[in-house]
Amino acid sequence: MGGYGDIKMIDENGLRMDGRSATEVRPITIETGVVPVADGSCRMTWGTNDVIVAVYGPMEAHPRKIQRQDRAVLDVRYNMAPFSTTDRIRPGFNRRSREISKVTADALASVVLLEMYPRSKIRVEIEVICAEAGTRCVGLTAASVALADAGIPMTDMVVSVASGKINDVVVCDLNKEEDNYGEADLPMGVLPNTGEIVFLQMDGDLSPEQFQTAWDYNVNAAMEVHKIMVEALKNGGAK
Amino acid sequence: MAIPLVPKILRSHLLELASKDERIDGRGRWEGRQTKLEVDILPRAEGSAKVTMGDTIVYAGVKFQLMTPYSDRPNEGGLMCSAEVRPVAGRNWEPGPPSAESIELGRVVDRGIRESGCIDVKSLCIIPGEKAWQVILDLFAISDDGNLFDAFALAAIAALKNAKVPCERFEVGKDHLLDVSSMPIMCSYHKVGNRFVYDASKKEELGGDERIHITLGEANHVHSLQKGLKGIFSADEFVEIMEKAKDTSKELRKLVNSVVGE
């Protein structure tokens, strides 16, 4: 969080720099089957975020030492393409992408019925082609759609949204400037069927009231995004 | 890339098809897959392109950085080209440091562009000995169904052709298009069933032998060649594919021009 509180990001009418209200999310499109050689895939654009997820498996887990006798292992990789940001990213794993891969895997493992595929592996490859803000949320949400497209059984899809604080006002779904100069960021992964949470991170500064508002914004936005996900899967159809 | 066990039955099937002058997906011997080229699609890259050849999908993105010219070439900027085939592109591509296959991909595409001289590295110099542009071309595969070489090369030249030098962001003048003076085009041929075919699919690659990549510039000048994988070919075979490459590269050049503008 940059915390440059002197940059004005909300006008007199309560509208943000891109014209959205406090609770409005950026435009979202979802398309399934975009990686023809994968078992399931999804492209999600969210604002100018552009994320492609491919799912491979369930397949044999090798080397053998990674196998689990009672369930499948979920191998999740989050990566940003070198040209996805203003300053080029050097290819290869870094600490940030490794952490995001891990929390994404933990969130997905909570909904995928891994015990149905003992000794096997399911690979989830999240590639950020163009980044704006909130790529981890887009990646996790798109991964849920790609897993569904691959026909992998899940108790629910994870919908991930982040709310934050700009100019001491809580707003939903931060864009690039708001993320850079905002004062807090609260990404969450919600299960729309039950309202339960499988993914939670936060950094910045929120009062107890602001925290509750951000939480509620996320849960409400997740329900909206879930409708778009279901629609995309109906149109694309699971293979 | 981990090479999976190839069933002998695939090889013999390809051989049988070849004896009838057929291919596994019904194409003619010199026929490419349907190719779609889109440019300027990535808002964070200074130049970008996406190529779809059948089920093979790749992106190319151009970024610019400021560099200090090398002391032995104080009037020149730099050009860097790297290819990445991450596990997203197929079940046999593995995570980890770049594999030999993806390094070969990047280097062969790099040579075609560099040696064609389409980017004048002298024009990338801003202040001799102090400041110059480094053009970084990143090639990124999303779906590998064979012939990543041609897809990468096509995306590469198209991305360079619509790249805008971000002078204003670095406070060194006005933004302008990168000067790309010619158009190198790569054509790849794979030995499948004991004869060369153009634009091999993944199945043909797995059940085939050696491959040859030819990069031709304007007026059919040769700029890079690469023979890959195990196999033997005759001079006559090479003459034949070279002739075919001249025709095919002409068609592809038309495609790029129709999308990017001359």
Instruction: Output A217 or A93, whichever has higher pLDDT.
Output: A217
Q: What's the whole-number mean pLDDT along residues A74-80?
A: 96
Please write the tens of the pLDDT for every residue from B77-107: 999 999 999 999 999 998 888 889 999 999 9
Please write the tens of the pLDDT for every residue from B28-50: 999 999 999 999 999 999 999 99
Q: Is the overall model pTM greater than 0.90, yes or no? A: yes
Scored b (16 or more CB within 10 A) or e, B49-82 reads bbbbbbebbbbbbbbbbebebeeeeeebbbbebb
Is the pLDDT reported for residue B130 higher than 70?
yes
C-alpha angle B172-B173-B179 in degrees, rounded to nearest 5? 100
pLDDT score for B167: 92
Residues on chain A touching B88 (C-beta within 8 angstroms): 35, 38, 52, 54, 125, 127
- Verify whether the Cβ–Cβ distance A88 to B136 is below 8 Å: yes
| Average pLDDT over chain A, rounded to an integer | 93
Closest-CA distance of chain B to residue A57, Å: 9
Q: Least CB-CB distance to B88: which of A82, A125, A131? A: A125
Is the pLDDT reported for residue A6 higher than 80?
no
Q: Tell which B residues from 51 to 70 touch A, by Cβ distance under 8 Å.
A: 55, 57, 59, 61-63, 65
- Model-level ipTM above the cut of 0.95: no
- Verify whether the Cβ–Cβ distance B142 to A35 is below 8 Å: yes
Residues of A near B (Cβ–Cβ under 8 Å) read 34-38, 48, 50, 52, 54, 56, 59, 77, 79, 81-86, 88, 91-92, 123, 125, 127, 129-131
Q: What's the whole-number mean pLDDT along residues A1-27?
A: 81
Q: What's the whole-number mean pLDDT along residues B160-179?
A: 93
- Between strands B78-84 and B131-143, the pairing is parallel
Closest-CA distance of chain A to residue B145, Å: 7
| Average pLDDT over chain B, rounded to an integer | 93
Put simply, whether B95 touches A (Cβ < 8 Å) is yes
pLDDT score for B98: 87
Q: What's the whole-number mean pLDDT along residues A214-225?
A: 96
Residues on chain A touching B162 (C-beta within 8 angstroms): none
The structure tokens listed for B162 are 């619509």
pLDDT score for A239: 44
Please write the tens of the pLDDT for every residue from A117-157: 999 999 999 999 999 999 999 999 999 999 999 999 999 99
- Verify whether the Cβ–Cβ distance A82 to B91 is below 8 Å: no
Report the residue of A52, A73, A79, A88 to disrupt the B interface, i.e. the one with the largest count of B CBs within 10 Å: A88
Please write the tens of the pLDDT for every residue from B183-217: 999 999 999 999 999 999 999 999 999 999 999 99
Is the pLDDT reported for residue A232 higher than 50?
yes
Q: What is the 3-state secondary structure (H, E, C) of chain A?
A: CCCCCCCCCECCCCCECCCCCCCCCCCEEEEECCCCCCCEEEEEEECCEEEEEEEEEEEECCCHHHCCCCCCEEEEEEEECCCCCCCCCCCCCCHHHHHHHHHHHHHHHCCECHHHCCCEEEEEEEEEEECCCCHHHHHHHHHHHHHHHCCCCECCCCEEEEEEEECCEEEECCCHHHHHHCCEEEEEEEECCCCEEEEECCEECCCHHHHHHHHHHHHHHHHHHHHHHHHHHHHHCCC
Is the pLDDT reported for residue A62 higher than 90?
no
Q: What's the whole-number mean pLDDT along residues B229-235?
A: 93
Closest-CA distance of chain B to residue A113, Å: 21
pLDDT score for B56: 97
pLDDT category of residue A4 using cuts at 50, 70 and 90: low
Is the pLDDT reported for residue A180 higher than 60?
yes
